[in-house]
A and B are shown apart, each in its own frame.
Chain A
Amino acid sequence: MNPFLNLLDTVDKTISVCISLCPVNCDKLPHLDVSVNNNIIFSAEINEKKTLKTTVELLEPIHIKIISKNNNAVVLQSIKIDDFEIVPNYIHYSDYVGSDGTAFGPTEYLGVSGQWDLIIDKPFYNWKHDVTGMGWFLTP
C-alpha cells in the first residue's frame, strides 16, 4: 500500500463548476443555453439571478459554452471552478462572438445574441498552475 498512490483511490476525481448569471433588465429576459463539455445544464429564460452547478472529470479539459438567443443582456456574475473564481481576474481567457459575427472578445457582459466560450484545454489544475503564475511545469 503506497501512501501517495493510494490517494488516487480516494481523492474526489471531479471538478465542480458553478456559474451564476443575472439578467440585466427584468423586462427583457434573456434566453440562454448553457453547456459544460457539451452537456446542456440549462436551456430557458432566466428571470432572476440563477446559479447553475455541475461537475466534470478531474483530468478532463473544460469547455463552458453559453448561447444567448434573444438579444437580451445577461451578466456572468461568477464562474467558480473548484472554488477558483474566474470573474473578473481570469475572464480574459473567455471569448464572446455575436450571432452576426461581431467579435466582442473576453467579457462577462453578454449584451446581444451570440456565443460565449471559456475553453480550458487541459486538466483544470494544470491550467490553474499556468494562469496563476506557478512557474515551470515540467513534464516527463
Chain B
Amino acid sequence: MKLDPKWLARCGALAMAAAVAQGTMPTGAQAQAYPNQDIRLICAFPPGSGADVLVRHFAEKLRPIANRTVIVENKSGAGGNIAMEYVARAKPDGYTIFVHAATAVAANQHLFKKPPVDAAKAFQIAASINRQPFMLVVDAKGPYKTVADLTEAMRKKGDKATYASAAPTGTIMGEIYKDVTGIKAVEVNYKTAPDSLNEMLSGKVDYGMHDPVFSLAQQREGRLRILAVSTATRLQANPDMPTMTESGVPMDLTGWWAAMLPAGTPRPIIDKVNQWFTEIVKSEETKTFLNGFGGDPFINTPDAAQALFLKAIKDWGDYVRLAKIMPQG
C-alpha cells in the first residue's frame, strides 16, 4: 500500500476527530450528574512543596470517592495571587477546586495594594480542611524552656535581640509578641524557614516564628524546641504545647485550609464538594496526615466556613496593620 502523504493526513485528521468526539463534553451538560468531567485541584505552590503534598493527598483520596480523574494543577507565584485570580475567573461548575489556606487568601487582601480579586465576592468555601498554628521555636540546646524565660532574656538583650521569620504570619506573630511584652527584637527575614536553621543554631538568631511543618520536623530531630503555638486553644495534634495566650501573650493566629470554589457555583455542587472533603477529612489516614503537618482536622458546613472566611478577611486587615507590614504593589 502506498504511503501517500495526503492519505496519511486524512487518516490523521479522522483519528483526531474521533478522539475529539470522545473528549471533554461542552459545558451545557454541567448541571446533570455532577461530576461528569475531570476535576482539577489548583495548588498555589510548586510541585513537591509542602502545600503540593497536601493537595496531592486530597487528590488521591478524592479520586475513588468522586469516581473521576483528579488532576493537580500547580499555578504558583505572587504569594498565591496567580492561583487566586485563575480560580476566581474559572467557570463555577465545580470542576476547578482551589485547595489553599483560606486565611492566606484573606491575608492577601491586605498584603497587596491592589489585590487581584475581591476575595469575599470571588470565592465560596465548600469545605474547611484543617487548622494549624504558627510556632515559636528556639535552639534546643539553649536555656529557654518557656516563653517567660525567653521574654526575660530578650528584655535584657534590648535591641540586640534577633528573631527569624519566613512568612507574613511569622512577622505578625513576632510583632504581637513584641507589642505585648515590650521587647525590642530585630526581625531577620528568610525566604524559607530551613534557611534560618543554621543561624538559630549558631546563636546569631535568638528565636524564630515559623510554620508548623518545619518546627515539628526540627523538634523531632532534636534541633529546635517549640515553646508555644499561636492558636488560642491547644491543638489535639500536639496537646502538650502551650499556647501563646496561656503564656501571657494573647493571640489567635490560626491558619485554616479549605476547598474553595468560584462564587456562583450552584448550591448542590457546593454541598457535594463539602460532602466529599468532609468524608476525606474524617478518615483516620487523613487525620494522621494532617497531624503530621501540625494541624487538626477542621470540619464545617459551607455556610459556617464562609462566615469564618469573611471574619478572617476582617481580622487579617487588623493584623497586617498591627505588624506594620507595608502592602506591596
Binding between chains A and B: no
